[in-house]
Amino acid sequence: MRLSELPKGALAVVERVLDAHAADPIAQRLRDLGFVDGEPVRVVAVGPMGGDPVLIQIGFTRFALRRAEAARVSVRAEVAA
């Protein structure tokens, strides 16, 4: 599943960041920001009518990503306890 597909409030764990091509600077920047394997993420908010941006929280940090950027992050959904 892609991070861009998660609904508001959903919890997930990052599996990996997908590179669009070799030496992809956007994918590398996402990894530098903390989108790494095993890191829990949460969708805090989404843009109007399901558009851009998507507000994502990793730990105590929030990032506003375009849907195209969020689509590069592969996640597995977490079941709420």
What is the model's pTM? 0.86
What tens digit of pLDDT does each residue of 16-74 get?
999 988 888 999 999 999 999 999 999 999 988 878 899 999 988 999 999 999 999 99
pLDDT at 48: 87
The count of domains in the chain is: 1
In the structure, what pLDDT confidence band is assigned to residue 81 with cuts at 50, 70 and 90? low
Taking CA 27 as the corner, what is the angle to CA 23 and CA 29, rounded to the nearest 5 degrees? 100
pLDDT at 78: 81
Spell 9-44 as b/e; 16+ CB within 10 A means b: ebbbebbebeeeeeeeeebeebbeeebeeeeebbbe
- CATH number, domain containing residue 50: 2.30.30.90
**Structural domain for 59, as ranges:** 3-77
